[in-house]
Structure 1
Amino acid sequence: MPAAARITDLTTDIFARPEELLAKLGSRQPLHRITLPDGMPAVLITGNPEAREALADGRLVRSIDAAAPELHKYHPLASDDYALSRHMLFADPPDHGRMRKLVSTAFTRRRVEAMRPRIQAITDELLDAVAAAGTADLVTAFALPLPIAVISEMLGVPFEDRTDFERHAEVLTGINASSSFDAIVEAGRWFDGYLGDLVRRRRADPRDDLISAMIAAQEQGDRLTDLELRSNALLLLSAGFETTVNLIANGLLALLRHPDAAAALAADAALLPAAVDELLRYDSPVSCVTYHFARERVEIGGFEIRPGEHVVIAAAAANHDPRVFDEPSRLDLTRPDAGQMLSFSHGIHYCLGAPLARLEGEIAFGTVLRRLAGLTLAVPESELTWKPSFVLHRLERLPVTFTPARQS
């Protein structure tokens, strides 16, 4: 395929709006050379089959060592100043498999399903706090604290530390958008110190949590360095809540926009598993999957990716590929092909926490629709705003009104 002119004037928010993005790109061809809003050159993949091919191609690696030298300055988490980037998300085989195997047993479907009662209890506690008021911001009161509580309990983060954790994690999820390089480095140092202290406490006093389990595995088989242990703990903490926050908030907004779909879901809980996948597809929590680098020449869809180039998967656009999804702009909670969405990525970096996120989504949507009767937006849609990021699609607030629950 002949090289097209590089597209340089893409805004941060357009990556979450597939039809607008494709219109701006000027064609539905599945690969494009662009400049990201932070200035980093990239090959953007918008087609679903092509994205799957790229994510499964071992020649596209996460190591910054494979990137062209001029790209290094755009990758803050690869800096030696950032201590906690030595985790499985930025690792390639064989290190990736070694680290992933260590923590994967905590996220099996059986273990995740065993957490259902506790997740339901946290959900009910959060809704109890707002049910009588008849109004709430469902981001700050519900979508954000629910997954933070769940993943913090899994890792053994004390309740009193979660506010500080959330504040610093917000910096990391603003990478390439709302967070400066210095702020990212500072947040990384805070987490390095905090997790180092938590690991020391768990070595002295093991608990029934994931950090204690990683320490035990490390001591038995020496499969994680101390830095890898802290890095993977941070990955689980941050990745374990961010996509789920967005799934819940974006999904609730989609249901508010489609009252017939919300009514059908409220009437039939059996629709929940399929509905979660469709909501993940319809308004993806992740707009782009960044930081894949071509170790050698790669051809995908007739498009040549040169050695050292940065490859970005436009997950939201791939989730609206009409070659895969019939009428992709239509919300259909019974869509049979929703499982082809790429909101959890694909290949060896497929999201380890996907079963947990799906379960939290099922419980969140089912419980909100059951308990908050008459749920409607409290502001015009035009007043809703999203966190500035071309990687994540996060609502800032979701103000709603509903029928107040009677206090007993």
Structure 2
Amino acid sequence: MDARDAVPLEIEPFGNPELLASKLRDSGPVHKVTLPDGMPAWLVTGNQEVRQALSDPNLVRSIEAASPDLHKYLGLASSDFVLTRHMLFADPPDHTRMRKVVSKAFTPRRIERLRPRIQEITDELLEPVLPLGEADLVAALALPLPIAVICELLGVPYADREEFEQYAETITGINASSTHEEVIAAGQWFDKYTTQLVESRRRRPGDDLISAMLAAMDEEARLTDLELRSNVFLLLAAGFETTVNLIANGLLALLRHPEAMAVVRDDRRLLHTAIEEILRYDSPVSSITYRFAAAPVKIGDVEIPAGDHVALSPPMANYDPAKVSRPAEFDITRSPNPHVSFGHGIHFCIGAPLARLEGEVAFGTVLDRMPGLALAVPPEKLTWKPSFIVHRLDSLPVTFDPARR
């Protein structure tokens, strides 16, 4: 790709579809850009075109299809990063085989069984702040809840969670706030840690997801040791990020639309459609990267040469007026809701049901136990993590009516 006529993009617009649209040269669904880390890409912004790209078998995850001049940008997909053999970076048939094992372990029944424990963790997290009448809901709830849930699901000891969080933050800050050396070091830590976890479950199986994955393997769907460890890493490091942002961004959306918050508080039947609208209105994921044209690919009216990098913008796809009426309006009754915040096609987020469940419990509990909830600062004072991959608030300070001790 000739970068001379590409639109250079900074981090800030990626989480803001209206701002990003203003930075692009035209209103078409495919744009030649340079990402904030310097990587050239075709950025797909149309809803239908994003779905097309996510379903096209000629757009692959394998870095072998990438033009050689792109390899220096590949970060988590580079050969320096040891845990790359997971389903997110795999193409069929390897992807099909890996996902079969994880899906057999990560069942809807197993997820729904977590509801009482998710409620219990949520109550435990909120209990210390309820008498105070003020809190940072990122630090108090949105961050620790998904970490606690995924760690319990995979059997990570409570004492290890702080260190796990530190290295996971490094991984999810890739291409923006984390250096290549820091990401590689974090990967080495996860490699040692997942090795210990897997060996522990082989010796002493339990009621956890790793044990279930080991039990789910058969002759048709076996994982190598590296594939197993890589998929455990994927569930650990990436498994909580979408949920953190769903909860934080969702609380912010409700706080900025108090009439919608009041309606949901009065009628919990609307919570399911409200969660889908939160996912559309402020996507937890700012961009999906690392797809490469294994052969020339046509998306919309644009012919993309073999070897080029294709990135996708869920926020802009979620605001596409061709698919979404009144896209800038926060409508908790919107149905159907054609958002692509969890992806589409074979790589649709396997943890989406768990994220929705955690969001349902978190929002419901906050609405129940924090009457008078309001932002403690003007919305323009809020800041975001410096990443163009995920859209996460640094903090969400709020006030509410304090509970009596």
Give yes or no for TM over 0.5.
yes
The aligned counterpart of 1:8 is 7
The separation in 2 between residues aligned to 1:4 and 1:26, in whole angstroms, is: 14
The separation in 2 between residues aligned to 1:403 and 1:29, in whole angstroms, is: 48
Aligned residues between the structures = 404
On the 8 A contact 2:111/2:354 being kept in 1, the answer is yes
The aligned counterpart of 2:382 is 384
On the 8 A contact 1:108/1:355 being kept in 2, the answer is no
- Larger CA deviation: 163-172 vs 8-17: 8-17
Q: 1:80-159 to 2 correspondence within 5 Å?
A: 80-159=79-158
Q: Deviation of residue 126 (structure 1)? A: 1.0
- Larger CA deviation: 376-385 vs 393-402: 376-385
Q: 1:223-242 to 2 correspondence within 5 Å?
A: 223-242=222-241
The aligned counterpart of 1:370 is 368
Q: Deviation of residue 133 (structure 1)? A: 1.1
- Larger CA deviation: 24-33 vs 178-187: 24-33
Q: Deviation of residue 79 (structure 1)? A: 2.3
1:343 is aligned to 2:311? no
The aligned counterpart of 1:184 is 183
For structure 2, the residue ranges without an aligned partner over 5 or more in a row are none
The separation in 2 between residues aligned to 1:391 and 1:70, in whole angstroms, is: 21
Q: Deviation of residue 150 (structure 1)? A: 0.8
On the 8 A contact 1:15/1:21 being kept in 2, the answer is yes
Q: Deviation of residue 77 (structure 1)? A: 1.6
Q: Deviation of residue 6 (structure 1)? A: 3.1
The aligned counterpart of 2:272 is 273
The separation in 2 between residues aligned to 1:57 and 1:390, in whole angstroms, is: 24
Q: 1:219 to 1:11 in 2, by over 3 A?
A: same
The aligned counterpart of 1:247 is 246
Amino acid at match of 2:373: L
The aligned counterpart of 1:174 is 173
Per-residue CA shift, 1:170-210, capped at 9, x if unaligned?
00000100000000000000000011111121111111111
Amino acid at match of 1:368: V
Q: Deviation of residue 347 (structure 1)? A: 0.6
The aligned counterpart of 1:310 is 309
On the 8 A contact 2:98/2:221 being kept in 1, the answer is no
The separation in 1 between residues aligned to 2:21 and 2:314, in whole angstroms, is: 13
Per-residue CA shift, 1:93-115, capped at 9, x if unaligned?
00001000101133333332222
1:399 is aligned to 2:397? yes
Q: 1:118 to 1:7 in 2, by over 3 A?
A: same
The aligned counterpart of 1:320 is 319
The separation in 1 between residues aligned to 2:114 and 2:353, in whole angstroms, is: 11
The separation in 2 between residues aligned to 1:23 and 1:81, in whole angstroms, is: 37
Q: Deviation of residue 116 (structure 1)? A: 1.2
1:355 is aligned to 2:333? no
The separation in 1 between residues aligned to 2:219 and 2:360, in whole angstroms, is: 37
The aligned counterpart of 2:68 is 69
On the 8 A contact 1:136/1:400 being kept in 2, the answer is yes
The separation in 1 between residues aligned to 2:78 and 2:328, in whole angstroms, is: 39
1:287 is aligned to 2:286? yes
On the 8 A contact 1:256/1:262 being kept in 2, the answer is yes
On the 8 A contact 2:3/2:40 being kept in 1, the answer is no
Per-residue CA shift, 1:209-239, capped at 9, x if unaligned?
1111223344877701111111000101122
On the 8 A contact 1:218/1:225 being kept in 2, the answer is no
Q: TM-score if structure 1 supplies the norm length? A: 0.96
Q: Structure 1: which 4+ aligned runs deviate by more than 4 Å? A: 218-222
On the 8 A contact 1:280/1:341 being kept in 2, the answer is yes
The separation in 2 between residues aligned to 1:194 and 1:234, in whole angstroms, is: 9
Secondary structure at the counterpart of residue 5 of structure 2: coil
The separation in 2 between residues aligned to 1:186 and 1:142, in whole angstroms, is: 28
Amino acid at match of 2:376: A
The aligned counterpart of 2:34 is 35
The separation in 2 between residues aligned to 1:283 and 1:121, in whole angstroms, is: 27
The aligned counterpart of 1:330 is 329
Amino acid at match of 1:229: L
1:57 is aligned to 2:56? yes
On the 8 A contact 1:6/1:32 being kept in 2, the answer is no
On the 8 A contact 2:44/2:50 being kept in 1, the answer is yes
The separation in 1 between residues aligned to 2:199 and 2:324, in whole angstroms, is: 49
Q: Deviation of residue 20 (structure 1)? A: 1.3
Per-residue CA shift, 1:241-264, capped at 9, x if unaligned?
000000000010011100000000
Q: Deviation of residue 23 (structure 1)? A: 1.4
On the 8 A contact 2:7/2:25 being kept in 1, the answer is no
**Identical aligned residues as a percent:** 62
The separation in 1 between residues aligned to 2:349 and 2:132, in whole angstroms, is: 36
For structure 1, the residue ranges without an aligned partner over 5 or more in a row are none
Per-residue CA shift, 1:99-156, capped at 9, x if unaligned?
0010113333333222211111111111112111111110011000111111111111
The separation in 1 between residues aligned to 2:3 and 2:218, in whole angstroms, is: 53
- Larger CA deviation: 208-217 vs 254-263: 208-217
Per-residue CA shift, 1:295-328, capped at 9, x if unaligned?
0001111110110010001111000001111110
The separation in 2 between residues aligned to 1:215 and 1:109, in whole angstroms, is: 18
On the 8 A contact 2:100/2:221 being kept in 1, the answer is no
Per-residue CA shift, 1:249-301, capped at 9, x if unaligned?
00100111000000001111100111100000000000111000000001111
